[in-house]
A = this chain, B = another copy of it.
């Protein structure tokens, strides 16, 4: 519990769910890591400067000038109907067909994640997540007091047999399996992608078990070879709620995401959304809508793909050259992240202060688990710094790992303290 909370006269008045809301211990470190001299391989910030800013500026101005009475007004709780139609067009890329009525627009897909959990999860309900999983999702599930169960993954993504076993185990323990949260494409933080076979098998298991699949797909269009993996939702419109986002294909600062859900679920989500924020911002929504209608958005996505591919290459090549033996990492075919496993005996969280002192930042693996796993791993993001900075960051990081190894070899281990800990709460630095 933080110092503020100890002095807080309201501490006994909070709801039970608020006990799960605690600030990450590593927040203070990230404040330091945001200094310009630090190469941050920690944050998941898209490189929005690659957007055509002049064009977007004109779009925004035209909208406010010509359609101000609409742009600046409350809108529908479900989201703008024209934009919902355009979202169908975007989703056709991942093989999804749906009706505009099936779509709800949200304040970023984080909000959709919150709403689905709000609508489905009672305290104690089991949510299966990948091991590791998105820190922002873990924070949501924890805030609704879910029982979070990690399911192992490998280079081909979530392991279906492990999911089946985890469900069986949960039922044997008298628990109530409610949903599977999965990021099939270019996983955050693991950097891997589910194979087609596995998607089919996972859908089969979920259907058989009556488990809702919450498919989170912010990176689906950012595959570096230009192929777009088919969404699980493309093959089943009843078992899956699909979450999409414009944060990585247009701009994160607009906060426009969406969910596609079966009819009854979508009705509940709209009611929950109205309770949460009344309606999404017309200003942001119509900016997205106008951009999609008037700009070559698919070309811009290609620009982003190329940019991130070059940065991915810079990361992987320099790790290949510089990282000490015993270090391994995933080879992302898209998205923003690679998952690095340190040589035996090193601890990514204990190492972080030393990394920041050496002017490089990452997110320790522990943040992506609720059960204390992840000490040997860390997440590197290549989305924001340019290739030279990435190479410099890896050089610094390799140096830190080497000194840790020396210490470990001298003193037996660098892994000192392993306190039980939960996930860090999501923050824009770690999304």
Chain A residues 243 to 262 lying within 8 A of chain B, measured CB to CB, are 247, 251-255, 262
B120 near A427 with CB under 8 A, answer no
Closest to A109 in B: B278
A119 near B14 with CB under 8 A, answer yes
Q: A18-B119, A275-B139 are in contact. Are A23 and B267 (CB under 8 A)?
A: yes
A265 at the interface (CB under 8 A from B): yes
B271 near A21 with CB under 8 A, answer yes
Residue of B73, B136, B280 touching A278 (CB-CB under 8 A) = B136
B73 near A252 with CB under 8 A, answer yes
B residues within 8 A CB of A178?
13
Chain A residues 1 to 47 lying within 8 A of chain B, measured CB to CB, are 2, 4-5, 7-11, 13-18, 21-23, 45-46
A226 at the interface (CB under 8 A from B): no
A108 near B278 with CB under 8 A, answer yes
Q: A5-B264, A69-B49 are in contact. Are A428 and B210 (CB under 8 A)?
A: no
Q: A17-B118, A49-B68, A263-B8 are in contact. Are A73 and B431 (CB under 8 A)?
A: no
Which of the 9-residue segments A53-61, A88-96, A191-199, A303-311 touches chain B? A53-61
Q: Mark A214-244, 1 if CB is under 8 A from B, else 0.
A: 0000000000000000000000001000000
B73 near A426 with CB under 8 A, answer no
A344 at the interface (CB under 8 A from B): no
Q: A238-B9, A428-B278 are in contact. Are A120 and B15 (CB under 8 A)?
A: yes
A62 at the interface (CB under 8 A from B): yes
A120 near B253 with CB under 8 A, answer no
A212 at the interface (CB under 8 A from B): yes
A56 near B51 with CB under 8 A, answer no
Which of the 9-residue segments A74-82, A292-300, A325-333, A403-411 touches chain B? A74-82
B residues within 8 A CB of A18?
118-120, 268, 272
Residue of B4, B118, B143 touching A15 (CB-CB under 8 A) = B118
B45 near A68 with CB under 8 A, answer no
Give the shortest distance, in Å, between A264 (CB) and chain B (any CB). Answer: 3
B residues within 8 A CB of A21?
119, 268, 271-272, 275
B143 near A272 with CB under 8 A, answer yes
Give the shortest distance, in Å, between A80 (CB) and chain B (any CB). Answer: 11
A140 near B275 with CB under 8 A, answer yes
Give the shortest distance, in Å, between A219 (CB) and chain B (any CB). Answer: 15
Chain A residues 337 to 367 lying within 8 A of chain B, measured CB to CB, are none
Task: Tell me the complex Cα distance, A317–B116, Å.
Answer: 48
B60 near A64 with CB under 8 A, answer yes
B residues within 8 A CB of A110?
275-278
B residues within 8 A CB of A262?
8-10
Q: A253-B281, A287-B283 are in contact. Are A267 and B2 (CB under 8 A)?
A: yes
Task: Tell me the complex Cα distance, A15–B178, Å.
Answer: 10
Task: Tell me the complex Cα distance, A63–B60, Å.
Answer: 10
Q: A68-B56, A275-B136 are in contact. Are A7 and B264 (CB under 8 A)?
A: yes
A48 at the interface (CB under 8 A from B): yes
Q: A5-B267, A74-B431, A275-B136 are in contact. Are A14 and B53 (CB under 8 A)?
A: no
Give the shortest distance, in Å, between A318 (CB) and chain B (any CB). Answer: 25
Interface centre among A62, A107, A108 (most CB of B within 10 A): A107
Closest to A254 in B: B283
A-B contact pairs, 13 of them (CB 8 A): A8-B265, A8-B267, A9-B262, A13-B210, A23-B271, A54-B65, A57-B61, A60-B64, A73-B251, A108-B277, A139-B274, A274-B427, A275-B426
Leading 3 A-B pairs by shortest Cβ distance: A8-B264, A72-B251, A61-B61
